[in-house]
Amino acid sequence: MLVRTHTCGQLRESDVGATVRLNGWVNSYRGHGTGLVFIDLRDRYGLTQLVFDGEDLPGDVMETADHLRNEDVVAVEGTVRVRTGGENPKLPTGKIEIEVSRLEVLNKTANPPFLPDDLAKLPNEELRLTHRYIDLRRPKMQKIMQARHRLAKVTRDYFHENGFLEVDTPILYKSTPEGAREFLVPSRNVPGGWYALPQSPQLFKQILMIAGCDRYIQLCRCFRDEDPRADRQAEFTQVDLEMSFVRREQVMEMMEGYIRRLWREMAGIDIPAMSRMTYRDAMERFGIDRPDTRYGLEIADISEIASRSEVAFFKDALARGAERPRFNSKRGVVKAIRVPGGAEKLTRKITDGYNEFARSFGAGGCAVVKVNAQGQFETGVAKFLEGVRGDLTAALGLTPGDTVLFVADEYAVCTKALGELRQKVARDMGVVPPPGAEGGPWNFLFVVDFPMFERNKETGRWVAMHHPFTAPRDDQAQTFVEASVDDEVTIESIVSAGYDIVLNGQEIAGGSIRIHDPKVQSKVFQLLGLTPQQAREKFSFLLEALSFGAPPHGGIAFGLDRLVMNFVGTDNIRDVIAFPKTQTGADLMTRAPSAATDEQLREVHVRSTWTPPAT
C-alpha cells in the first residue's frame, strides 16, 4: 500500500513540487471520462483535490479513476502543484492539487445508504445510527468528537494542575436501589448474587476521601435505567470530583475556575463572575430550580390581591391548605406572569394553548388577561378582577399592550406550571437569545440552599432532594440532629450544603458538602425510613468508613455530554456520543440488547420469565 506522507488537510502552496502520498475516502467525483478526472479526497483533516490526467496516465489507471465513486478508499502518489484551473476559496487546500501518478484502490465501497455530506439534508436518525460509521465520517461529527476530546483534555489539565488525582472506580458495583432504576448484572461465581452498574461513583469517591486521596477526579461512565430524553441517555458521562477539608466556598471557587478555563479554551470566551441564587428565590421568581436568567418574565405571587378579587377559582385555590406555612407545597397560591407586549403577539389560539399546557402539569388551567390602551383588562376573567385592577397594575407594573397569565393552585403545582409556562412564553415571544455559541450570553448561576428533604408524591415519605449523603448547611446541622423525625415543619426547613450550576436554564452540574459524621448519616437514613438494620445492610461499608477518621469533604459532578452540547451547538445528546442508544435503549448498529442463550443464562443462574407474544 502507498502509505500516506501527509493528511488531506495539510498541503499548501509551500509544498508545490513535492512528491506526496495521500490516503482517504473519495468525497466527490467530477469526471470528463478517461481524459480528465477530478477527485476530492477526504480524511479527518480535510479535503484535497486529486487530478488524473489522461495525457500522462496509462489507460487502465484512467479507467479505474473514471469509476471511482463516493466513499471508495484509495491511496495515491503524485506531485503537488498550483491549480491550473483556478483556486477553490472554500477549501484551505484550495490553491493546490495533486497531479496523480499512482493509484491504489484500498476498498471499493458498496453503494452507501447515504453520504456523509453536511451540505445535503440529513437522512433520518434511525438510518444514521444503523450506519453510524458513515455518519461519523461527516465533518460535523468529526468536529464534535474532536471538541469532546479537547474538553476532556482541558478538564484533565485543569484538575491535574490543581492537585487532583484521577482514580478509576468499579463498574460492577453493589446495588443500592434508592434513586434511579439500576442495570443489573448477574454473578456467575455467586449464585443468586447481582451487581449493579453505578448511577454514579458517589460512595467510592467519598471513600477515596476517607482513604486520604484528598482530591479526586474521574471522567466516569454512569448508568441510569430511566426513559431517555433529547438531553438524557441511560448511559452517560460525568466529570466527577471530590475534595477533602473544604467548605462549600472552596468547592464553588474551584468549579468557577474550571468553568472559566473551559470557556476560555473551548470558546475563547472570558465569562463574568458567576452569580448565586437561593433555591427559594429561584422557585419564587422563576418557578424552577434551574432558572434561565437570559430574559425576564418573572413570576409574581399575587395571592393577597387575588383574595380580594371576585374570581371564584382564585378563592378556591387560596382556601386550600391555608393553615399551612408559607411555601408549603400544599398551600394554595395565585401567581402571575406579566408578558410585556403580549397582547399583540400572543393570539387567542396561543393563549388557549397555554391553558392546555398548564393543565398538563396538573394545574386547573391558566387565566389570561390583556391590558388595553386605556389600561383596562380584557378577556376571560377581566370583569371579576375589576375591583383589584389598580392594585394588580401597580404590583405587576402593567402597561398597555401587556398580557398577564394567572395560575391558581397548590404551591408546588402552581410554581411548576408557571415555571414551565414562562419558558414556553419566552420562546413564543422570541425573547430567548440564540445559543451562546453564536454570540448570545452565557448566564451561569450557582443555585444554593436547597431543602435537604422533600415528600415523595406517591408514598408521602421523606426523600433526599439531592442524595442521602448530602450534609446540612453548617448553621443547620445542630437543628437537624436535634429535630424529632416527626417535626415536619423543622425537617422541611432544613437547608443543605448543596449547590447546582445552571447555564442558560440547564443544570450542568450538581454537588454538595457530604456528611462526614456517622451520627448525622444515621439520622438521615432514619428520616428516609431505613431501619438501622436496613442501613447497615446497604451502607455498612460507608458507616464503618465514616467512623474510622473521615475528613470533611465535598464535591460535584458535571454532565460531560451536556457540556459538549453547549460548545458544539446541538440540542440532541446523541450527537455528542459516538455510539448512542435510541429511546428504547437499543443500539441500532450492533442490535443490542439481544437474546441470551439458555446456556448463558444457566451459567449465571438466571431464568427468564419473558415469553414472546402470540402472533
Partner RNA sequence: GGGGCGGUAGCUCAAUUGGUUAGAGUACCGGACUGUCGAUCCGGUGGUUGCGGGUUCGAGUCCCGUCCGCCUCGCCA
With binding defined as CB under 7 A, does residue 119 bind RNA? yes
Q: Which is nearer to RNA, 112 or 390 (CB)?
A: 112
Q: Residue 197: name the closest of 216, 218, 221, 219 by CA.
A: 221
Q: Which is nearer to RNA, 370 or 581 (CB)?
A: 581
For residues 556 and 511, is the Cβ–Cβ distance under 8 A? yes
With binding defined as CB under 7 A, does residue 338 bind RNA? no
Measured between its terminal Cα atoms, the distance across the chain in Å is 53
Residue among 12, 16, 19, 33 that touches RNA (CB under 7 A) = 33
In the complex, least distance from residue 106 CB atom to RNA, rounded to whole angstroms: 17
- The residue length of the chain stands at 615
Q: Residue 576: name the closest of 122, 264, 226, 230 by CA.
A: 230
Q: Which is nearer to RNA, 189 or 360 (CB)?
A: 360
Q: Which is nearer to RNA, 36 or 604 (CB)?
A: 36
**Mutual orientation of helices 139-161 and 248-267 as an angle, nearest 10°?**
140
Per the DSSP assignment, residues forming a β-bridge with 73 are: 25, 107
Q: Which is nearer to RNA, 381 or 407 (CB)?
A: 407
The radius of gyration of the chain from alpha carbons, rounded to an integer in Å, stands at 30
Q: Give the pairing of strands 46-53 and 73-82.
A: unpaired
With binding defined as CB under 7 A, does residue 232 bind RNA? yes
CA of residue 461 relative to chain centroid, distance: 29
Q: Which is nearer to RNA, 318 or 564 (CB)?
A: 564
With binding defined as CB under 7 A, does residue 360 bind RNA? yes
Distance CA 247, CA 117 (A): 51
Residue among 224, 290, 335, 523 that touches RNA (CB under 7 A) = 224
In the complex, least distance from residue 357 CB atom to RNA, rounded to whole angstroms: 10
Residue among 20, 171, 432, 465 that touches RNA (CB under 7 A) = 465
For residues 241 and 556, is the Cβ–Cβ distance under 8 A? yes
With binding defined as CB under 7 A, does residue 66 bind RNA? yes
In the complex, least distance from residue 340 CB atom to RNA, rounded to whole angstroms: 26
Q: Determine the interface stretch with RNA among 11-19, 27-35, 159-167, 546-554 (rule: CB under 7 A).
A: 27-35
Distance CA 509, CA 503 (A): 9
Residue among 584, 594, 597, 611 that touches RNA (CB under 7 A) = 584
With binding defined as CB under 7 A, does residue 230 bind RNA? yes
Secondary structure element (H or E) that encloses residue 351, with its range: helix 348-360
In the complex, least distance from residue 423 CB atom to RNA, rounded to whole angstroms: 10
Distance CA 195, CA 577 (A): 25
Q: Residues 466-505 vs RNA: string with x where CB under 7 A?
A: xxx-------------------------------------
Q: Residue 554: name the closest of 615, 471, 465 by CA.
A: 471
Tell me the HSE value of 56 on the side-chain side, using a 13 A CA sphere: 11
In the complex, least distance from residue 596 CB atom to RNA, rounded to whole angstroms: 17
Amino acid at 587: D
Q: Which is nearer to RNA, 342 or 511 (CB)?
A: 511
Tell me the CA distances in angstroms from 535 to 160, 174, 335, 341, 518, one per residue in order: 36, 14, 42, 56, 12
Q: Which is nearer to RNA, 347 or 456 (CB)?
A: 456
Q: Determine the interface stretch with RNA among 117-125, 145-153, 285-293, 444-452 (rule: CB under 7 A).
A: 117-125
For residues 514 and 571, is the Cβ–Cβ distance under 8 A? no
Strand stretches in 361-439, DSSP E: 367-371, 377-378, 403-410
Q: Residues 249-288 vs RNA: string with x where CB under 7 A?
A: ----------------------------------------
Residue among 60, 226, 386, 544 that touches RNA (CB under 7 A) = 226
CA of residue 311 relative to chain centroid, distance: 41
Q: Is 336 helix (H, G, I), strand (E, B) or coil?
A: strand
Q: Which is nearer to RNA, 113 or 191 (CB)?
A: 113
Longest CA span, the chain = 95
In the complex, least distance from residue 37 CB atom to RNA, rounded to whole angstroms: 8
Residue among 38, 194, 384, 442 that touches RNA (CB under 7 A) = 38
With binding defined as CB under 7 A, does residue 441 bind RNA? no
Residue among 16, 60, 85, 600 that touches RNA (CB under 7 A) = 85
In the complex, least distance from residue 539 CB atom to RNA, rounded to whole angstroms: 11
Q: Determine the interface stretch with RNA among 2-10, 88-96, 158-166, 240-248 (rule: CB under 7 A).
A: 88-96
Tell me the HSE value of 455 on the side-chain side, using a 13 A CA sphere: 14
With binding defined as CB under 7 A, does residue 461 bind RNA? no
Q: Residues 183-222 vs RNA: string with x where CB under 7 A?
A: ----------------xx-x--------------------
Residue among 148, 260, 331, 574 that touches RNA (CB under 7 A) = 574
For residues 50 and 104, is the Cβ–Cβ distance under 8 A? no
In the complex, least distance from residue 447 CB atom to RNA, rounded to whole angstroms: 15
Q: Which is nearer to RNA, 303 or 496 (CB)?
A: 496
With binding defined as CB under 7 A, does residue 53 bind RNA? yes
Distance CA 520, CA 535 (A): 13
Please give the residues from 380 up to 439 whose contact with RNA meets the rule CB under 7 A: 416, 420
For residues 82 and 13, is the Cβ–Cβ distance under 8 A? yes
Tell me the CA distances in angstroms from 344 to 5, 349, 400, 403, 486, one per residue in order: 64, 12, 11, 9, 52
373: exposed, middle or buried (C-beta count within 10 Å: 0-12, 13-18, 19+)? Answer: exposed
Residue among 582, 601, 605, 606 that touches RNA (CB under 7 A) = 582
Amino acid at 328: N
In the complex, least distance from residue 44 CB atom to RNA, rounded to whole angstroms: 19
Please give the residues from 129 up to 168 whose contact with RNA meets the rule CB under 7 A: none
Size of the site for RNA (CB under 7 A): 78
Q: Is 261 helix (H, G, I), strand (E, B) or coil?
A: helix
Q: Determine the interface stretch with RNA among 228-236, 296-304, 330-338, 475-483 (rule: CB under 7 A).
A: 228-236
In the complex, least distance from residue 323 CB atom to RNA, rounded to whole angstroms: 26
Q: Is 97 helix (H, G, I), strand (E, B) or coil?
A: strand
In the complex, least distance from residue 597 CB atom to RNA, rounded to whole angstroms: 21
Please give the residues from 281 up to 320 whose contact with RNA meets the rule CB under 7 A: none
For residues 449 and 495, is the Cβ–Cβ distance under 8 A? yes
With binding defined as CB under 7 A, does residue 123 bind RNA? yes
Q: Residue 314 has which C-alpha cell?
A: 382564585
With binding defined as CB under 7 A, does residue 84 bind RNA? yes
